[in-house]
Amino acid sequence: MAEFKLKLRRYNPETGEAPYWQEHTVELEPHRSVLEAILQAKNNEDGSIGVRCSCKAAICGSCGVRVNGKPGLACHTHLDAALASAKDGETIVVEPMGNMPVIKDLIVDMDAVHWKKIQRVTPWLVNREPVPEREYIVPRESMVDVTQSMACIQCGACVSDCLSMEVDPLFIGPAALAKSYRFVGDPRDDMQQVRLKDLSEDPHGIYDCTHCFKCIEACPKGVAPMSQIMRLRRIAGNDHHIVDRNNGDRHERAFVSLIRDHGLLWEAELLPRSYGGDSWFGKFHPHAGKELLSSLPAITKALLRGKVTPMGALKPHDIPAKDLEQVQRIYKTVEEREERVEFNLYISGKDEDLLPSSTATEEASA
């Protein structure tokens, strides 16, 4: 048994008072969970502490909270680990999840945000016609491919920390987009193209993700929502050639071609091409012109400061010709493949995980 100091963020909407902090000292074994600690405080000291929970085994997804600022399941966070990440070295701080309105104490309104976004992506299978008389026979690989997104337990931890949603609350967000991959990747679904078109064209869709890895870090089940979003983009652009109005596909294409043609990024060309289209002429497209005009204050300042010079940044900088040839040969090899080669650690695991346990232990002790 050990003593742990717990600091809870409390909020009662009926008092009209602002949220406040409340401290409790609990006594538990260090391997017990933060949830047990909250429940001990609730049971022994203040029954009015609001916290959702059910299974205590990281499978129901009810007890999503933020522990020392990081989102996760209270039942899946050991007290010793929580103490180790305490900012002041001694107080475990528990707060409600972010990006969602707080109903009371640690309970947030999942309906208002998380579930609404899940509903947004048509979270069910739309049958491919004709429906076979008996069951669908699905290739094993394609089901393995969607298992990662199926591992989601809807706890909302990724939504809590999504940095895009923080500035754009309309962003469909990590959980819902991972859910949408679950159906885009399912060969029985008939709506792959429609789903992807919808999610690409939505200004708050797949191209609104800022690639910050917060959701990957937050997820207690290894779903890696951001990776699923990247796969949605890959299929939308490469397989369905969807050119969206958000410049998402154009930006990706411009970037990839610029590296192919120069080996290094040519920023001065990337921006206009992202708006106007992937060619040297892109910058003369009206969209690119409009964009350049709105960026004028930044560009003028950059020129005045000598940061950007016509001879420096405004001309491409290439790698040596022989190396560029090598890069282009690699491009050719990969782009000419009929089937996409993807290596997913979630499915394949690492070689070292497959070592016999005795070897692994020896290595660990070595």
Of residues 148 through 207, those in contact with another protein by CB under 8 A are 163-164, 166-168, 171, 203-204, 207
Helix axes 248-262, 267-276, angle to 10 degrees: 140
Helical segments of the chain, H only: 34-44, 79-84, 116-120, 140-150, 157-161, 163-167, 174-184, 192-201, 214-218, 225-234, 248-262, 267-276, 286-294, 296-304, 321-335, 345-348, 351-354, 357-365
Residue 34, CB half-sphere, CA atoms under 13 Å: how many?
A: 34
Residue whose CB is less far from another protein, 297 or 356? 297
CB neighbour list of residue 163: distance below 8 Å, 6 or more residues apart? 210, 212, 214
What is the token pair recorded at 78?
């050991």
By beta-carbon proximity to another protein, the closer residue of 2 and 334 is: 334
Interaction pattern, residues 204-223, with another protein; x per rule: CB under 8 A: x--xxxxxxxx-xx------
Q: Least distance from C-beta 140 to another protein, angstroms? A: 19
Q: Which stretch binds another protein (CB under 8 A): 2-10, 55-63, 179-187, 296-304?
A: 296-304
The residue among 34 and 288 lying less far from another protein, judged by its C-beta, is: 288
Q: Hey, which residues between 2 and 21 contact another protein (CB under 8 A)? A: 12-14
The binder of another protein chosen from 312, 347, 355, 359 (CB under 8 A) = 312
Count of positions on this chain that bind another protein (CB under 8 A): 91
Which residue, 104 or 188, has its beta carbon nearer to another protein?
A: 104
Q: Which two tokens stand for residue 294?
A: 């709105």
In the complex with another protein, which residue's Cβ is closer, 295 or 361?
295
Among 17, 25, 43, 142, binds another protein (CB under 8 A): 43
Give the pair of three-digit tokens for residue 77.
């966070």
Q: In this structure, what is the dihedral angle of CA atoms 219, 221, 222, 225, given to the nearest 10 degrees? A: -50
Asked if residues 224 and 174 have their Cβ atoms less than 8 Å apart, the reply is no
Write down the residue that tokens 């282009």 correspond to: 328
Residues of span 333-352 touching another protein by CB under 8 A: 333-335, 337, 340-343, 345, 348-351
Q: Is 313 in the site for another protein (CB under 8 A)?
A: yes
Give the nearer residue to another protein in terms of CB position, either 70 or 188.
70
Nearer to another protein, 28 or 308 (CB): 308
Tell which positions 251-280 bind another protein, by CB under 8 A. Answer: 251-253, 255-256, 259, 263-268, 271, 274-275
Strand arrangement of the beta sheet that strand 64-67 belongs to: 20-28, 2-10, 91-95, 64-67, 70-73
Q: Which is nearer to another protein, 116 or 340 (CB)?
A: 340
Q: How far is the CB of 189 from another protein (least distance, A)?
A: 22
Of 122, 154, 246, 279, which lies in the binding site for another protein, with binding defined by CB under 8 A? 246
CA separation for the pair 49, 39 (Å, rounded): 9
Residue 286, by phi and psi: left (phi above 0), alpha (psi -120 to 50) or beta? Answer: alpha
**Pairing relation of β-strands 64-67 and 70-73?**
antiparallel
| Contact set for another protein, span 225-244 (CB under 8 A) | 230, 233-234, 237-238
Nearer to another protein among residue 137 and residue 341 (C-beta): 341
The one segment of 88-96, 117-125, 152-160, 301-309 that binds another protein by CB under 8 A: 301-309
CB of 157 to another protein, least distance (A): 14
CB of 203 to another protein, least distance (A): 7
Residue in 329, 347, 359, 361 binding another protein, rule: CB under 8 A: 329
Rounded to an integer, what is the distance from CA 126 to the centroid of its chain?
Answer: 25
Q: Which of residues 88-127 bind another protein (CB under 8 A)?
A: 103-104, 107
Preceding omega of 130 cis (within 30 degrees of 0): yes
If 0-12 CB within 10 Å is exposed, 13-18 middle and 19+ buried, where does residue 26 land? buried
